[in-house]
Amino acid sequence: MKKWIVAVVVVWALVIVSGIAVGIVLVTGDDDKDSDNGANEESTSASPSESGSTSEPADGSVPPGLETFYGQQVTWEACGGNQCGVLEVPLDYADPTGDTIEIALEMAPATGDRIGSMVVNPGGPGAPGTSTAEDADFYFAPDLRARFDIVGFDPRGTGDSSPVDCFSDAELDAYIAADPDPDNRREVRDFVEVQEDFWEGCEEKSGDLGSHVSTIEAARDMDVLRAVLGEEKLPYFGFSYGTRLGATYAELFPENVGRFVLDGAVDPSLPTLEGSLSQAEGFETALRAYLENCVDGGDCFLGDSVDEGLRTISDLLAEIDAEPLPTSDERDLTVGNAFYGLVTPLYSEDNWPYLDQGLEEALAGNGDTLLLLSDFYGSRENDTYTDNSLEAISVINCLDDPWSIAVDEVPTYFDEFEEASPTFGAVFAWSLVSCHGTPFETTEPEIEIDADGADPIVVIGTTRDPATPYEEAVAMAEQLVPGVLLSRDGDGHTAYNKGNACIDDAVHAYFIDGTVPPDGTEC
């Protein structure tokens, strides 16, 4: 029996009311995860040392007042072949004697001659990082699996780490189905109402937690985790938004940076407006690459040229906006669902056949596959949402950068967004209101990221990455004093373990042997 396995590789700030992009790679895999890597299925306690880690904190300095947190021992218990545990951290690092929260951990033990523990993050913000350890064999090649414990954690406010909450499942259905590009007075009114309801729900359901799920606080949690894992210098692999998290950590704790790889990098200095323009252009580039592939293959069902294909897709979205498509589900395919169903497969060239299927069906009046792809985007499965990524990403993004505009200002941005992306520009322009009305304010001071004093940090960019455009990786590598740029010429989001041996060999040589690739290496 087979199921979809969704490997979430998420990005920094996308679209509409949710401000989210969840990139997915769709593959098939077995339902049963019986391989236990030497651990049984019982909830028997196991110390970190038994699974290849040590419970003693590293010798690095401990921030004043945090000795109890840095010196704690995690009780690891078997979970589906891996080891799971809980880390306790302060809700507010400025008040370490106050309330605490729990951070969910999962570790896939090294399968061979272990070097140490590698902390990983799949992106987001909002994606539960424990999933990266759960699916470690999918994310990481055997070379890394053999040498490192893969340690994933759900960043505060996400997954099982004191998750923020804003909406019921039914409300989330309406949230993602909402029109991301309202074009009349009634649609604008509905758009505003959904936005207001979201923030009211967050304030009511999340309370004080909503002000303490920033990227800076998640980075502070990572340093507590480093100490508990016994790593004097932290090995870290971050994808997409995980590159921002990693760069933030490197700024706060440069002396604790070990072998760091940041893949699908974002520009940490880019304000919301410029970041949205960059991403709009990135998705336009990715859509054109998809259409070029279709046209070059001959007899493309979308048209005989890229421009004709773009017109076909734009006309289809307009038709769905006017009249949603029926599906075999009880829900219709709205233009909101259709938008997410369209952009989701653009994250990986391997997913283009699913986009073919979805668009062909939709052109024939059937919304099934595009709705399925939209559900993958929102982590919706069996009529429920399996995590809170749709909610967490907006709360975290708006803590990190609360800049927004009022609804009546949106049309003034249409021209520059449509220049960046004729297909998606208006949607990204409307996304600029995402933080309008947020009730939360971070208590963390703003920081400028350059990671001066850290060991070499390998920054990877892909030339036609839709979600984190290549130029952002170049910018991050330039801004980080120890930054080293590694480039992949290709399509899709992120570069590692995507079939490019040059990239994979460079990553493995760095993590395993400490060999830093030459700055500017092109693969």
Q: Which residues are catalytic?
A: 240, 465, 493
Residue that has been written with the tokens 């996308």 in this structure: 14
By DSSP bridging, strand 148-153 and strand 100-108 are antiparallel
Q: Are 231 and 109 in contact (CB under 8 A)?
A: no
Helix ranges, 63-126 (H): 67-70
Phi, psi of 142 (to 5 degrees): -55, -30
SS (H, E, C) 123-135: CCCCCCCHHHHHC
**Token couple for 459:** 């920054």
d(CA 367, CA 363): 9
d(CA 292, CA 273): 29
Q: Are 283 and 421 in contact (CB under 8 A)?
A: yes
Residue that has been written with the tokens 């003034």 in this structure: 412
Scored b (16 or more CB within 10 A) or e, 226-240 reads: bbbbbbebbbbbbbb
By DSSP bridging, strand 257-263 and strand 457-464 are parallel
Helix ranges, 141-271 (H): 142-147, 169-177, 185-206, 215-229, 241-252
**Token couple for 454:** 């850290």
d(CA 310, CA 294): 12
d(CA 344, CA 20): 11
**175: number of Cβ within 10 Å:** 23
DSSP 493-513: S--TTSS-HHHHHHHHIIIII
Q: Are 224 and 463 in contact (CB under 8 A)?
A: no
What residues are paired with 107 via a beta bridge?
83, 151
Return the H-helix or E-strand segment holding 107: strand 100-108
Query: What is Dmax (Cα atoms) for the chain?
Result: 67
Chain Cα centroid distance, residue 136: 16
Of 519, 492, 516, which is closest to residue 506 (Cα–Cα)?
Answer: 516
Sign of CA dihedral 377, 381, 387, 388: positive
Coil, helix or strand at residue 243 = helix
Coil, helix or strand at residue 478 = helix
What CA–CA distances, in Å, run from 308 to 280, 292, 347?
A: 20, 11, 22
Cis-peptide into 125, omega within 30 deg: yes
